[in-house]
Amino acid sequence: MQASASEFDELVAQALDGLPAWVQERMDNVAVLVAPWPTADQRRRMATRSPHRLVLGLYEGVPLTRRGRGYNLQAPDRITLFSAALLRVARDRDHLVELVQRTVMHEIGHHFGFGEADLSRIGL
């Protein structure tokens, strides 16, 4: 599957715009980014969790459920979608749209404090 960077960015924007209003309203201090692949540092930090898995997205930050009174003046959390990985997995355009939407929701789930088991249980 192929898509230009601007086409891919538009899919991410559509996925974010399609989120329920209550989700959009509760997202706090989080930036959504696109990169082709994880950086060496991201790969190193993920190696203990999934050394051989193709990673489609990554949440880095302090989940909303763990933020306390001392959480202020912090750099934004980051949700990164890995475009090259998503394009490699996608069978066609419709599947790419679905993968981007699911990956966005999955990583936002981490921002809201859900762990992998929780997300798996709800189908993300």
Q: Which domains does the chain have, with CATH numbers?
A: 5-65+75-121 (3.30.2010.20)
Pairing of strands 57-60, 30-35: unpaired
Residue-level pLDDT at 123: 83
Count other C-beta atoms under 10 Å from residue 68's C-beta. 7
Secondary structure (DSSP) of 52-114: TPPP-EEEES--GGG--TT--SPPPEEEEEEHHHHHHH-SSHHHHHHHHHHHHHHHHHHHTT-
> pLDDT by residue (tens digit) across 2-26?
999 999 999 999 999 999 999 999 9
> pLDDT by residue (tens digit) across 27-73?
988 999 999 999 988 888 876 566 567 899 999 998 988 887 777 77
pLDDT at 79 over 70: yes
